Protein backbone atom coordinates (compact mmCIF):
# COMPACT_ATOMS: atom_id res chain seq x y z
CA UNK A 1 0.00 0.00 0.00
CA UNK A 2 2.72 2.36 1.07
CA UNK A 3 4.89 1.61 -1.94
CA UNK A 4 2.06 2.28 -4.39
CA UNK A 5 1.52 5.70 -2.80
CA UNK A 6 5.18 6.53 -3.29
CA UNK A 7 5.11 5.32 -6.87
CA UNK A 8 2.12 7.55 -7.61
CA UNK A 9 3.83 10.52 -6.03
CA UNK A 10 6.98 9.85 -8.00
CA UNK A 11 5.11 9.65 -11.26
CA UNK A 12 3.26 12.87 -10.49
CA UNK A 13 6.47 14.75 -9.73
CA UNK A 14 8.11 13.50 -12.89
CA UNK A 15 5.09 14.41 -14.97
CA UNK A 16 5.09 17.91 -13.51
CA UNK A 17 8.82 18.28 -14.12
CA UNK A 18 8.23 17.37 -17.72
CA UNK A 19 5.21 19.60 -18.25
CA UNK A 20 6.29 22.83 -16.54
CA UNK A 21 9.41 23.68 -18.57
CA UNK A 22 7.84 22.77 -21.89
CA UNK A 23 4.84 24.97 -21.13
CA UNK A 24 7.09 27.94 -20.46
CA UNK A 25 9.92 27.24 -22.86
CA UNK A 26 7.67 27.46 -25.90
CA UNK A 27 7.90 31.21 -26.45
CA UNK A 28 10.42 32.32 -23.89
CA UNK A 29 13.02 34.75 -25.25
CA UNK A 30 15.96 35.92 -23.15
CA UNK A 31 17.77 39.14 -24.03
CA UNK A 32 21.00 40.16 -22.30
CA UNK A 33 23.71 42.75 -22.78
CA UNK A 34 24.46 46.44 -23.07
CA UNK A 35 23.36 48.66 -20.20
CA UNK A 36 22.84 51.40 -22.79
CA UNK A 37 20.04 49.40 -24.37
CA UNK A 38 18.56 47.74 -21.29
CA UNK A 39 15.83 50.33 -20.60
CA UNK A 40 14.80 50.43 -24.24
CA UNK A 41 14.95 46.63 -24.41
CA UNK A 42 12.63 46.32 -21.45
CA UNK A 43 10.19 48.79 -22.95
CA UNK A 44 10.22 46.87 -26.24
CA UNK A 45 9.58 43.64 -24.38
CA UNK A 46 6.79 45.18 -22.31
CA UNK A 47 4.90 46.59 -25.29
CA UNK A 48 5.48 43.50 -27.39
CA UNK A 49 4.20 41.20 -24.65
CA UNK A 50 1.03 43.30 -24.33
CA UNK A 51 0.36 42.74 -27.99
CA UNK A 52 1.44 39.09 -27.97
CA UNK A 53 0.39 37.67 -24.60
CA UNK A 54 1.79 34.26 -25.52
CA UNK A 55 5.36 35.62 -25.67
CA UNK A 56 7.58 35.83 -22.59
CA UNK A 57 10.62 38.07 -22.99
CA UNK A 58 13.17 38.57 -20.28
CA UNK A 59 15.65 41.46 -20.61
CA UNK A 60 18.73 42.00 -18.45
CA UNK A 61 21.79 44.26 -18.66
CA UNK A 62 25.40 43.70 -17.70
CA UNK A 63 27.28 45.29 -20.59
CA UNK A 64 27.83 44.54 -24.28
CA UNK A 65 30.67 42.12 -23.56
CA UNK A 66 28.58 40.25 -21.02
CA UNK A 67 25.71 39.88 -23.48
CA UNK A 68 27.90 38.55 -26.29
CA UNK A 69 29.67 36.19 -23.87
CA UNK A 70 26.21 34.90 -22.83
CA UNK A 71 25.29 34.37 -26.48
CA UNK A 72 28.45 32.30 -26.97
CA UNK A 73 27.75 30.32 -23.78
CA UNK A 74 24.22 29.69 -25.00
CA UNK A 75 22.59 31.32 -21.99
CA UNK A 76 20.76 33.99 -23.97
CA UNK A 77 18.82 34.08 -27.24
CA UNK A 78 19.58 37.69 -28.13
CA UNK A 79 22.58 39.80 -27.10
CA UNK A 80 22.27 43.59 -26.93
CA UNK A 81 25.43 45.46 -27.83
CA UNK A 82 26.29 49.12 -28.13
CA UNK A 83 29.26 48.17 -30.31
CA UNK A 84 29.93 45.78 -33.16
CA UNK A 85 30.88 42.22 -32.25
CA UNK A 86 34.68 41.85 -32.11
CA UNK A 87 36.53 39.50 -34.44
CA UNK A 88 37.79 37.55 -31.43
CA UNK A 89 34.23 37.15 -30.15
CA UNK A 90 33.09 36.04 -33.60
CA UNK A 91 35.81 33.37 -33.66
CA UNK A 92 34.81 32.15 -30.21
CA UNK A 93 31.17 31.99 -31.24
CA UNK A 94 32.01 29.97 -34.33
CA UNK A 95 34.19 27.64 -32.28
CA UNK A 96 31.19 27.11 -30.01
CA UNK A 97 28.98 26.32 -33.00
CA UNK A 98 27.14 29.62 -33.40
CA UNK A 99 26.80 31.89 -36.40
CA UNK A 100 25.93 35.29 -34.91
CA UNK A 101 23.58 37.44 -36.99
CA UNK A 102 23.70 41.19 -36.57
CA UNK A 103 20.71 43.56 -36.47
CA UNK A 104 20.94 47.34 -36.26
CA UNK A 105 18.06 48.31 -34.02
CA UNK A 106 18.65 51.99 -33.22
CA UNK A 107 21.17 54.82 -33.37
CA UNK A 108 22.77 56.76 -30.58
CA UNK A 109 24.55 60.11 -30.69
CA UNK A 110 27.33 60.29 -28.15
CA UNK A 111 27.52 63.66 -26.43
CA UNK A 112 30.64 65.31 -25.04
CA UNK A 113 29.62 67.23 -21.93
CA UNK A 114 31.21 69.83 -19.67
CA UNK A 115 30.04 71.70 -16.61
CA UNK A 116 27.41 74.34 -17.37
CA UNK A 117 29.74 77.09 -16.10
CA UNK A 118 32.43 76.22 -18.65
CA UNK A 119 32.67 78.88 -21.41
CA UNK A 120 33.76 76.30 -24.04
CA UNK A 121 30.96 75.67 -26.56
CA UNK A 122 32.54 73.49 -29.21
CA UNK A 123 35.46 71.11 -29.72
CA UNK A 124 36.92 69.38 -32.74
CA UNK A 125 37.39 65.63 -32.80
CA UNK A 126 41.14 66.23 -32.65
CA UNK A 127 40.80 68.33 -29.52
CA UNK A 128 38.63 65.67 -27.85
CA UNK A 129 41.24 63.08 -28.77
CA UNK A 130 43.98 65.30 -27.30
CA UNK A 131 42.04 65.78 -24.09
CA UNK A 132 41.27 62.12 -23.52
CA UNK A 133 44.78 60.98 -24.45
CA UNK A 134 46.26 63.38 -21.93
CA UNK A 135 48.00 65.70 -24.40
CA UNK A 136 45.75 68.66 -23.66
CA UNK A 137 45.70 69.22 -19.92
CA UNK A 138 44.48 72.76 -19.39
CA UNK A 139 41.30 74.44 -20.60
CA UNK A 140 43.33 77.49 -21.70
CA UNK A 141 44.98 75.38 -24.43
CA UNK A 142 41.63 75.27 -26.22
CA UNK A 143 40.38 78.75 -25.42
CA UNK A 144 38.98 78.23 -21.95
CA UNK A 145 40.00 79.43 -18.49
CA UNK A 146 43.36 78.58 -16.93
CA UNK A 147 42.12 75.48 -15.13
CA UNK A 148 43.20 71.82 -15.29
CA UNK A 149 41.00 69.47 -17.30
CA UNK A 150 39.50 66.63 -15.32
CA UNK A 151 38.59 63.68 -17.53
CA UNK A 152 35.69 61.43 -16.66
CA UNK A 153 35.38 58.05 -18.37
CA UNK A 154 33.30 54.92 -18.33
CA UNK A 155 34.82 51.68 -17.03
CA UNK A 156 36.53 49.51 -19.62
CA UNK A 157 33.70 46.95 -19.72
CA UNK A 158 31.38 49.59 -21.17
CA UNK A 159 30.60 49.67 -24.89
CA UNK A 160 30.76 53.46 -24.71
CA UNK A 161 34.37 53.28 -23.49
CA UNK A 162 35.34 51.11 -26.45
CA UNK A 163 33.35 53.24 -28.89
CA UNK A 164 35.07 56.51 -27.94
CA UNK A 165 38.46 54.77 -27.89
CA UNK A 166 37.98 53.43 -31.41
CA UNK A 167 36.16 56.33 -33.07
CA UNK A 168 37.70 59.39 -31.41
CA UNK A 169 40.99 58.25 -29.86
CA UNK A 170 41.80 56.25 -33.04
CA UNK A 171 42.49 53.24 -30.80
CA UNK A 172 45.14 55.04 -28.75
CA UNK A 173 45.12 54.68 -24.97
CA UNK A 174 43.15 56.85 -22.60
CA UNK A 175 45.23 59.04 -20.28
CA UNK A 176 46.11 57.37 -16.97
CA UNK A 177 44.33 60.02 -14.93
CA UNK A 178 40.93 59.42 -16.56
CA UNK A 179 38.53 58.87 -13.71
CA UNK A 180 36.36 55.86 -14.47
CA UNK A 181 32.79 56.14 -13.28
CA UNK A 182 30.30 53.31 -12.94
CA UNK A 183 27.65 54.49 -15.37
CA UNK A 184 26.53 57.50 -17.39
CA UNK A 185 24.57 58.86 -14.46
CA UNK A 186 27.72 58.90 -12.32
CA UNK A 187 29.49 60.89 -15.04
CA UNK A 188 26.58 63.34 -15.26
CA UNK A 189 26.66 63.75 -11.49
CA UNK A 190 30.43 64.30 -11.42
CA UNK A 191 30.52 66.76 -14.35
CA UNK A 192 27.58 68.75 -13.02
CA UNK A 193 29.50 69.28 -9.76
CA UNK A 194 32.98 69.71 -11.18
CA UNK A 195 33.59 73.02 -13.01
CA UNK A 196 36.67 71.56 -14.74
CA UNK A 197 35.21 68.22 -15.67
CA UNK A 198 34.57 66.72 -19.08
CA UNK A 199 32.59 63.55 -19.74
CA UNK A 200 30.70 61.64 -22.39
CA UNK A 201 27.71 59.39 -22.88
CA UNK A 202 24.45 58.92 -24.76
CA UNK A 203 23.19 62.39 -25.81
CA UNK A 204 19.58 61.82 -24.81
CA UNK A 205 20.54 61.16 -21.22
CA UNK A 206 22.24 64.54 -20.80
CA UNK A 207 19.41 66.65 -22.21
CA UNK A 208 17.49 66.48 -18.97
CA UNK A 209 20.53 66.72 -16.70
CA UNK A 210 20.93 70.00 -14.80
CA UNK A 211 24.38 71.54 -14.54
CA UNK A 212 25.90 69.98 -17.66
CA UNK A 213 26.34 71.41 -21.13
CA UNK A 214 26.38 69.36 -24.33
CA UNK A 215 29.17 70.54 -26.61
CA UNK A 216 28.99 70.95 -30.36
CA UNK A 217 31.54 68.87 -32.21
CA UNK A 218 33.49 69.60 -35.39
CA UNK A 219 34.67 66.74 -37.58
CA UNK A 220 37.79 68.77 -38.44
CA UNK A 221 38.91 72.38 -38.28
CA UNK A 222 37.01 73.35 -41.45
CA UNK A 223 33.67 71.66 -40.85
CA UNK A 224 30.91 73.35 -38.91
CA UNK A 225 30.31 72.60 -35.23
CA UNK A 226 27.20 70.48 -34.87
CA UNK A 227 25.29 69.87 -31.67
CA UNK A 228 23.58 66.50 -31.25
CA UNK A 229 20.63 68.32 -29.68
CA UNK A 230 18.43 70.82 -31.49
CA UNK A 231 17.69 74.26 -30.03
CA UNK A 232 14.29 73.06 -28.81
CA UNK A 233 15.93 70.41 -26.63
CA UNK A 234 15.19 67.38 -28.76
CA UNK A 235 17.70 65.07 -30.40
CA UNK A 236 18.76 66.11 -33.88
CA UNK A 237 17.97 62.97 -35.88
CA UNK A 238 19.09 64.43 -39.19
CA UNK A 239 22.55 65.22 -37.81
CA UNK A 240 23.03 61.59 -36.81
CA UNK A 241 21.50 60.12 -39.99
CA UNK A 242 23.60 62.28 -42.28
CA UNK A 243 26.70 61.91 -40.11
CA UNK A 244 27.28 65.67 -39.82
CA UNK A 245 27.41 65.11 -36.07
CA UNK A 246 30.49 62.90 -36.09
CA UNK A 247 30.16 60.86 -32.89
CA UNK A 248 27.27 58.48 -33.39
CA UNK A 249 26.90 54.74 -33.37
CA UNK A 250 24.45 51.99 -34.12
CA UNK A 251 22.98 49.93 -31.34
CA UNK A 252 22.89 46.25 -32.18
CA UNK A 253 21.13 43.04 -31.36
CA UNK A 254 22.83 39.72 -32.07
CA UNK A 255 21.27 36.28 -32.35
CA UNK A 256 23.19 33.01 -32.24
CA UNK A 257 21.73 31.79 -35.53
CA UNK A 258 19.61 33.13 -38.37
CA UNK A 259 16.51 33.97 -36.35
CA UNK A 260 13.22 32.22 -36.97
CA UNK A 261 9.83 31.85 -35.38
CA UNK A 262 9.18 33.94 -32.31
CA UNK A 263 12.63 35.57 -32.21
CA UNK A 264 12.38 36.65 -35.84
CA UNK A 265 8.92 38.08 -35.27
CA UNK A 266 10.23 40.05 -32.29
CA UNK A 267 13.23 41.47 -34.16
CA UNK A 268 11.08 42.39 -37.17
CA UNK A 269 8.69 44.21 -34.87
CA UNK A 270 11.57 46.12 -33.21
CA UNK A 271 12.77 47.37 -36.60
CA UNK A 272 9.25 48.25 -37.73
CA UNK A 273 7.87 51.82 -37.32
CA UNK A 274 6.07 50.64 -34.20
CA UNK A 275 9.27 49.45 -32.53
CA UNK A 276 11.19 52.52 -33.68
CA UNK A 277 8.57 54.75 -32.06
CA UNK A 278 9.74 53.35 -28.72
CA UNK A 279 13.33 54.23 -29.64
CA UNK A 280 12.21 57.84 -29.92
CA UNK A 281 10.25 57.70 -26.68
CA UNK A 282 13.27 56.37 -24.78
CA UNK A 283 15.49 59.08 -26.27
CA UNK A 284 17.67 57.41 -28.87
CA UNK A 285 17.81 58.16 -32.57
CA UNK A 286 15.47 55.87 -34.55
CA UNK A 287 16.68 54.14 -37.69
CA UNK A 288 16.05 56.09 -40.86
CA UNK A 289 13.04 54.25 -42.23
CA UNK A 290 12.92 53.52 -45.92
CA UNK A 291 10.01 55.27 -47.54
CB nearer other proteins, residue 197 or residue 286: 197
At its nearest, how many Å lie between other proteins and the CB of residue 65? 3
Task: Tell me whether strands 122-124 and 216-218 are parallel, antiparallel or unpaired.
Answer: parallel
Stretch that binds other proteins, among 104-112, 148-156, 218-226, 248-256 (CB under 8 A): 148-156
Binder to other proteins among 7, 26, 173, 277 (CB under 8 A)? 173
CB nearer other proteins, residue 178 or residue 215: 178
CB nearer other proteins, residue 206 or residue 237: 206
Binder to other proteins among 64, 80, 184, 209 (CB under 8 A)? 64
CB nearer other proteins, residue 50 or residue 88: 88
Binder to other proteins among 165, 213, 218, 249 (CB under 8 A)? 165
Contact between 37 and other proteins (CB under 8 A)?
no
**In this structure, are residues 78 and 255 in contact, taking their beta carbons and an 8 Å threshold?**
yes
- Count, residues near other proteins per rule CB under 8 A: 36
Nearest to 126 by CA among 206, 202, 223, 196: 223
β-partners of residue 78 are 31, 255
Contact between 171 and other proteins (CB under 8 A)?
yes
| Contacting residues toward other proteins, per CB under 8 A | 62-66, 69, 88-89, 92, 133, 135, 148, 150, 155-157, 161-162, 165, 171-174, 176-182, 186, 189-190, 193-194, 197
Amino acid sequence: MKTTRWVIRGVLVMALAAIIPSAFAAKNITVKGSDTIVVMGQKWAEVYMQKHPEAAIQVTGGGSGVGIAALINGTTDIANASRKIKASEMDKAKAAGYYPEEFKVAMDSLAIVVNASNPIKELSLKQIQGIYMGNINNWNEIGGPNQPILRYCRESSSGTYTFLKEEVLKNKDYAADCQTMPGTSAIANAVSKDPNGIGYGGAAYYIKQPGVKILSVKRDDKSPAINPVKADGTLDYEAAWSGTYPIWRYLYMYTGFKPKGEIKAYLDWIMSPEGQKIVEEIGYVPLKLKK
